[in-house]
Amino acid sequence: MKKTATRGQIDPITGITDGAMKALLKSVLRPCWRRTSRKTFIDSVRYHAENPKTGRNWFVIDCADCQRVMGVSEKEFRTLKAGGKSKKPRSVYEIHHKSGVTSLADIRETLGEHFHSLIYGEMEVLCFSCHAAQTAEQTSERNKNKGLQPK
């Protein structure tokens, strides 16, 4: 028999809910991805160009969608949904998993697949706005396949 966890119910072994366990696992795996395959991928696609502001040489990358040229270390204040700007400057680009990262549905069945798609999945560089659009499209498609209504 398959054991199914009830939403919001605390597991007596771990002391946290199933959702909290998934969030915890994802928060542990993301830094692993940032320090390994993401870093290696950025190093493989960056190249030297002249910084238009300073005239000095720096590493740049191109958005795979709109071809925007961005500095690897370039940051900007992002516009928030509620209006205004972010408190800290953030990177102008995002690393996008082309086919998305496998959902972490049942931990026993999908943790290995989730980790593999996160670390070894095909990636591309996108500027922040292109990444937001493609991610929204992937989420909409995924929800449509699950039978959920888009927000």
The per-residue pLDDT for 148 is 64
Mean per-residue pLDDT pooled into runs of 10, the chain (151 residues): 66 88 92 93 95 92 95 92 91 91 82 90 93 90 74 54
Domain that holds residue 114: 18-146
The per-residue pLDDT for 65 is 94
Does the pTM surpass 0.75? The reply is yes
CA nearest 7: which of 25, 21, 16, 19?
Answer: 19
Q: Please give the tally of structural domains in the chain.
A: 1
Residue 55 in any domain: the answer is yes
Residue 10 in any domain: the answer is no
CA nearest 28: which of 102, 120, 118?
Answer: 118
Q: Which two tokens stand for residue 115?
A: 């980790």
The per-residue pLDDT for 151 is 54
Residue 3 in any domain: the answer is no
